[in-house]
Amino acid sequence: MGAEAAAKAALERDGWAILAQRLRTKAGEIDIVAEKDGLLAIVEVKSRPTLLEAAVALTPRQQARLIAACDIVLTEHPDWGAEGVRFDVLIVDGQGRVRRIADAFRLEV
Residue 13 sits in a domain whose CATH number is: 3.40.1350.10
- Across the chain, mean pLDDT equals 93
Expressed in percent and rounded to 5, the helix, strand and coil fractions of the chain are: 30, 40, 30
Q: Which residues of the chain have pLDDT under 50?
A: none
CA proximity to 17, closest of 75, 80, 68: 80
Owning domain of residue 90: 3-105
Total domains, the chain: 1
pTM of the model: 0.91
